[in-house]
């Protein structure tokens, strides 16, 4: 069986107080006419005014409860618009009730002042009248301002700001209730003062009236403490739970101790927390398959259609492991998965550490990109280059880890990481069908990055990047121009660079290599074959394992045997991807 509602319990207290005061009035009237007149004033004016003040407190509590229910109705998924509208009407109606109670109390106080047949503290009553008018006016004005701020926040589903508005409204209500409580205390003083005057005329009547009035006050206070404790305690627990959810703690719930409106509200709150906990778990799981920043971006742009796209300048990176196919031959499925996961985790770390978005894994290949809205335009190329440097280093370390994972002593010498990076305009958006979508990038820069990753095979290099990437990467990086290359699918040559590392970390051998290679490349393009061969050979003396220098020495021999045409532009054309 449901317990009585909060409203009924509060109204029962008010009715009980009115009944007790009515009994006092009846008993006093029977004794003397004069005392009856004084008691009539006491019961129908003083007490009624006091009752109106008490109901002002009650109506303010009901208005605050209606305001919270409005917020809860909008916080539901989907929002309870019908419930919101109903609570909104209740909220406005309670505001009018507070005004009516204030007007009624003031009218009774003014009636006492105007009645010259009884002795009363008219100056004190006048001050009470002014305080009621000021307290009610301040509440109406400030609550109206907070209410007008709250509505658009609820409409925009900005519940954090809405909670703050509700908290301020509660503070205003508490201040108003304290003012009314102080007025009621002064009003009670006036009641007792009138009772003293009546006691001079009839001691017996005064004694009876004092006993009944004291009894009413004690019972009212006891019931008020009982009711307020039963209301504020679960509300306080609910407030603590709300603050915990606001702070991101979703691991708890609130015990339901009542079956009234607050108990129902607590049950609804627990259900909401459970749903939030489930959604957060889904979000964490989903974030392991798609970068959380991509998910957040799609949610923020949920008003757009899934097929919307836009042109942006992005930096794209492709990474592959040379010799991985032959390395995996003969491995068990479990061993292959173990090695693949270790390799992909090792290579993905630098990408995530430098704020890149991993687009997809294609076998042992990795595709990633940098650019707005995930990175600033001025930093995307530099971040991609720094990630490529770290990936090349981790690739070297990976060769020492693979034997332990594979259970062998050594791995093939050609097992190494190849990286391609390109910067250019691409199409960014959700690509796919009605059954499955993928947020990705498409365009010439993507194709070029893939081709540059493959071109490492032709040059014996580790990391080839496009000229726009080098131009946007900024200072602090050491690189060299490798060649002017026409990749598969393009007709115009691209100036291709290789990232060596950070400038402050270069060895003297690498510095010598860069100088010799630059001289050799210049002589090569001027067809000074012997000078070019000599410069590239000097580079190999500095770094014997330098692949591009060896490639150019071999290429020079072929060009000397079969010289190029007169219009040769120095560009080299790759026939393989």
Query: What is the rounded average pLDDT of the residues 3-19?
Result: 67
The CA radius of gyration of the chain, in Å to the nearest whole number, is 42
Model confidence over 97-152: pLDDT tens digits? 878 887 887 887 887 777 777 777 777 777 877 877 787 777 777 777 777 777 78
Question: Coil, helix or strand for 95?
Answer: helix
Return the pLDDT at 89.
85
How big, in percent rounded to 5, are the helix, strand and coil portions of the chain? 65, 15, 20
Return the pLDDT at 324.
67
End-to-end CA distance of the chain: 78
Query: Range with the lowest mean pLDDT among 151-155, 379-383, 386-390, 461-465?
Result: 151-155
| Residue 13 pLDDT > 90 | no
Model confidence over 240-292: pLDDT tens digits? 777 777 776 767 677 776 666 667 777 787 788 777 777 666 666 555 556 66
Return the pLDDT at 303.
39
More confident residue, 64 or 341: 341
Structure tokens, 533: 């061969």
Percent of the chain whose predicted confidence (pLDDT) is above 70:
79
Q: How far apart are CA 105 and CA 183, in angstroms?
A: 11
Model confidence over 406-426: pLDDT tens digits? 665 555 545 678 999 999 999
Query: What is the rounded average pLDDT of the residues 86-98?
Result: 81
Model confidence over 317-339: pLDDT tens digits? 999 887 666 666 666 777 777 87
Assign domain 297-506 one CATH number from 3.30.70.1230, 3.30.70.20, 2.40.110.20, 3.20.20.10.
3.30.70.1230
What is the value of pTM for the model shown?
Answer: 0.53
Highest mean pLDDT among 22-31, 399-408, 432-441, 513-522: 513-522
Residues 6+ apart with CB under 8 A from 488: 451, 574, 575, 576, 577
Residues 6+ apart with CB under 8 A from 330: none
- Count how many Cα atoms sit within 13 Å of the Cα of residue 535 in the half-sphere of its side chain: 20
Query: What is the rounded average pLDDT of the residues 2-9?
Result: 60
354 to 51, 369, 374, 503: CA distances (angstroms):
69, 11, 11, 18
- 121-139 in b/e form (b: 16+ CB < 10 A) is beebbeebbeebeebbeeb
Query: What is the rounded average pLDDT of the residues 183-203?
Result: 74
Model confidence over 343-366: pLDDT tens digits? 888 888 999 999 899 988 888 889
Number of H helices, E strands in the chain: 17, 9
Return the pLDDT at 327.
64
More confident residue, 71 or 39: 71
Nearest to 148 by CA among 128, 168, 134, 131: 168
In this structure, is the dihedral angle defined by the CA atoms of residues 213, 35, 118 and 102, taken in order, positive or negative? positive
Domain ranges of the chain: 6-204, 297-506, 507-577
Query: What is the rounded average pLDDT of the residues 543-572?
Result: 87
Structure tokens, 370: 């940098």
Q: Band of the pLDDT at 93, cuts 50, 70, 90?
A: confident
Return the pLDDT at 381.
92
> What's the mean pLDDT when you consider all of the chain?
79
Domain 6-204 belongs in CATH node 1.20.1420: yes
| Residue 389 pLDDT > 80 | yes
| Residue 237 pLDDT > 90 | no
Q: How far apart are CA 51 and CA 42, in angstroms?
A: 12
Q: Is the bond preceding residue 373 a cis peptide, omega within 30 degrees?
A: yes
């Amino acid at each position: 069986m449901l317990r009585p509602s909060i409203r009924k319990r509060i109204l029962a207290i008010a009715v009980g107080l009115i009944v007790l005061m009515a009994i006092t009035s009846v008993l006093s009237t029977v004794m003397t006419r004069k005392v009856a007149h004084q008691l009539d004033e006491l019961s129908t004016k003083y007490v009624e005014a006091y009752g109106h003040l008490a109901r002002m407190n009650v109506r303010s509590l009901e208005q605050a409860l209606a305001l919270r229910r409005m917020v809860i109705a909008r916080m539901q998924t989907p929002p309870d618009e019908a419930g919101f509208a109903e609570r909104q009407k209740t909220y406005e109606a309670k505001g009018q009730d507070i005004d009516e109670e204030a007007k009624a109390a003031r009218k009774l106080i003014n009636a006492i002042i105007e009645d010259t047949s009884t002795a009363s503290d008219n100056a004190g009553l006048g001050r009470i009248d002014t305080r009621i008018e000021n307290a009610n006016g301040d509440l109406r004005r400030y609550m109206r301002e907070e209410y007008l701020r709250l509505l658009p926040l609820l409409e925009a589903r900005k519940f954090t700001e809405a909670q703050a508005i509700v908290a301020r409204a509660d503070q205003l209500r508490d201040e108003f209730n304290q003012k009314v409580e102080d007025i009621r205390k002064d009003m009670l003083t006036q009641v007792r003062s009138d009772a003293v005057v009546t006691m001079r005329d009839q001691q017996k009547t005064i004694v009876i009236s004092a006993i009944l009035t004291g009894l009413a006050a004690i019972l009212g206070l006891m019931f008020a403490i009982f009711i307020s404790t039963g209301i504020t305690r679960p509300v306080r627990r609910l407030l603590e739970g709300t603050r915990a959810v606001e702070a991101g703690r979703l691991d708890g719930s609130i015990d339901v101790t009542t079956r009234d409106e607050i108990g129902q509200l607590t049950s609804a709150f627990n259900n909401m927390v459970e749903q939030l906990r489930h959604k957060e778990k889904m979000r964490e799981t989903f974030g392991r398959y798609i970068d959380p920043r991509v998910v957040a971006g799609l949610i923020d742009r949920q008003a757009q259609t899934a097929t919307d796209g836009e042109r942006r300048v992005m930096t794209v990176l492709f990474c592959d492991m040379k010799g991985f196919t032959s390395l995996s031959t003969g491995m068990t499925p479990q061993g292959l998965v173990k090695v693949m996961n270790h390799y992909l985790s090792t290579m993905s770390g630098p990408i995530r550490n430098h704020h890149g978005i991993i687009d997809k894994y294609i076998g042992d290949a990795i595709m990633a990109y940098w650019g707005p809205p995930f990175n600033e335009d001025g930093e995307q190329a530099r971040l991609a280059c720094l990630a490529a440097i770290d990936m090349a280093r981790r690739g070297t370390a990976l060769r020492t880890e693979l034997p332990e994972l594979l259970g062998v002593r050594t791995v093939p010498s050609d097992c190494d990481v190849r990286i391609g990076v390109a910067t250019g305009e691409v199409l960014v958006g959700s690509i796919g069908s009605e059954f499955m979508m993928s947020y990705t990038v498409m365009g010439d820069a993507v194709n070029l990055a893939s081709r540059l990753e493959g071109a490492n095979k032709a040059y014996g290099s580790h990391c080839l990047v496009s000229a726009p990437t080098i131009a946007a990467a900024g200072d602090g990086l050491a690189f060299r121009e490798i060649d002017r290359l026409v990749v598969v699918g393009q007709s115009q040559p691209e100036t291709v660079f290789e990232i060596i590392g950070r400038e402050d970390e270069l060895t003297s051998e690498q510095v010598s290599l860069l100088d010799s290679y630059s001289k050799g490349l210049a002589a090569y393009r001027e067809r000074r074959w012997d000078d070019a061969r000599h410069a590239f050979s000097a580079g190999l003396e500095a770094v014997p394992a330098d692949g591009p220098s060896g490639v150019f020495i071999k290429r020079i021999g072929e060009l000397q045997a079969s010289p190029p045409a007169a219009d040769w532009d120095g560009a080299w054309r790759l026939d393989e991807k």
